[in-house]
Chains A and B, each alone.
Chain A
Amino acid sequence: MDALKQELKENIIEQLNLEDMTTEDIANDDMLFGDGLGLDSIDALELIVMLDKSYGIKLTDPKEGRAIFESINTMAAYITEHRTK
């Protein structure tokens, strides 16, 4: 699980061009959207593609993403349960 969380942080930083950040800057329970990391709806769409490409999870409704992408913890839990690759 910890390895997955570390991997997610690396992927998020790379995929979303968070150039000034390192994985240490993101705590597992930090809010990714809103006041936390400040991600927005376009980032959510980018993360949906990441789920598909890296873990074989397909979301059809962007609204589903809201709960899944709340924090690194929620993402890791969802991926662990639903991943197909």
Chain B
Amino acid sequence: MNKGVAITGMGIISAIGNNVAENYQSLIKGEKGITRVSKIKTNHVNDIMVGEIDFTNEALEQQLGLSSDNNYSRTALLGVIAAKQTIADAKITDINAYKTGLISATSVGGMDMTERYYYEYLENEATRKYIKGHHAGDSTQKIASQLGIEKSLVTTISTACSSAANAIMLGARLIKAGKLDRVVVGGADCLSKFTINGFKTLMILSDTYNTPFDENRKGLNLGEAAAFLVLESDKVVQAENKKVLAYVKGYGNANDAYHQTASSENGDGATLAMQKALDVANYTPKDIDYINAHGTATGNNDLSEGRAIIRIFGEEVPDFSSTKAYTGHTLAAAGAIEAVYSVLALQNNVIYPNLNFKTPMKEFRIKPQLELKEKALQTVMSNSFGFGGNCSTVIFSKEQ
């Protein structure tokens, strides 16, 4: 026990880049990936903006060399792209040289194909290959298979928008407890009519660029993305002389137990999650250098999260920003996307600007970081909160 959890590889595909380097360039240049939706036919096209990945499914299938009879959902396609990058980045050549597991997160799963062929399944046999790809574990099984992970611990977490943060947390716990030597953790979610219309019914989609922590925020932009990280034990790091990008230092999950979808006014669950993560890391609030906030730009989240941050950090709130203005809210993948961004922040000693911000919220005095800031960082806290009151915090650090 009490072992370090090293991050030795990262991979990502999002609306602001098809790999880690492209994502980083967009982040420091302040280039957002928010546009009108082009790959999904929806009546709401002029009412919403999204963070969409440029590649079509056909292009992704081609990149992966899949035959035309494949039954990959877009979630699975994105997931495999990011997971393969991760393995390459960690310079893993023999995945089964160590006891390796996979913990993936998704909320949409194969819903993109289900909504496309829902009634067509009844008429057209050619579409039926997607039926067994609907359930949330399917994309995870495909990722495991593409990475060559066999006869191992492979599972899927779905706790709405905190899912990937929870996948990282479970992975870290498994390494610490010695259950696995290496675990690939992360998440994938594609855009779908299902989520577009679902969030629309909740009336929390913005019709323009989302503006986290702004007084006049109008709601979120949905995004699609996938990101994975390789976590390795001290044993593997030493034996392989691995380059460590950062460590997973703390983590916490708590439930708001307040409402089916909304966060409590005072952010009870968020406060508990941040506190637990600090406790696991054996840190005090002063030890946190930057918070990559959940910051979805909904009225409810930003107020609740802001209050929770003040409850934890008091008068001395560290620099914080939300990167949702760049990528949109990538739902179950968000925790992994922002884990990659947190590690990049540590590696490059930068804090990303919170784009689109104009007016401070009237409820409190704290204000997000607005310009790109260079600053020596030792630690980054990343928040992810979801429906069902699910609140998660992960802390990344340079030092073990």
Contact = CB atoms under 8 A, between A and B. Distances in A.
Q: Do most interface residues of chain A lie in helix, strand or loop, or is the interface mixed?
A: helix
A48 B203 contact: yes
Q: Number of contact residues on B: which range applies?
A: under 10
Contact of B202 (A40, A45, A60): A45
A1 interface: no
B203 A45 contact: yes
Contacts of A40: 259
Contacts of A62: 203
A41 interface: yes
Nearest to A63: B299
Contacts of B261: 42
Interface string A21-45: 0000000000000000000111001
A42 B260 CA distance: 9
A43 B259 CA distance: 13
Majority secondary structure, B binding face: loop
A41 B262 contact: yes
Interface residues of A, number: 9
B282 interface: no
* Residue in B202, B203, B260, B261 whose Cβ sees the most chain A Cβ within 10 Å: B203
B262 A45 contact: no
Nearest to B300: A41
A8 to B, nearest CB: 21
Contact of B201 (A41, A45, A60): A45
A33 to B, nearest CB: 14
A75 interface: no
B257 to A, nearest CB: 15
A41 B259 contact: yes
Contacts of A50: none
A49 B202 CA distance: 11
B201 A49 contact: yes
Interface string B194-227: 0000000111000000000000000000000000
Interface string A49-83: 10000000000111000000000000000000000
Nearest to A40: B259
Nearest to B218: A61
B67 to A, nearest CB: 44
A42 B262 CA distance: 10
A57 to B, nearest CB: 15
Nearest to A48: B203
Contacts of A42: 260-261
A61 B202 CA distance: 11
Contacts of A61: 203
Contacts of B262: 41
A49 B197 CA distance: 13
Contacts of B203: 45, 48, 60-62
7 contacts: A42-B260, A42-B261, A45-B202, A49-B201, A60-B203, A61-B203, A62-B203
Interface of A: 40-42, 45, 48-49, 60-62
Closest 4 CB pairs of A and B: A62-B203, A45-B201, A45-B203, A41-B262
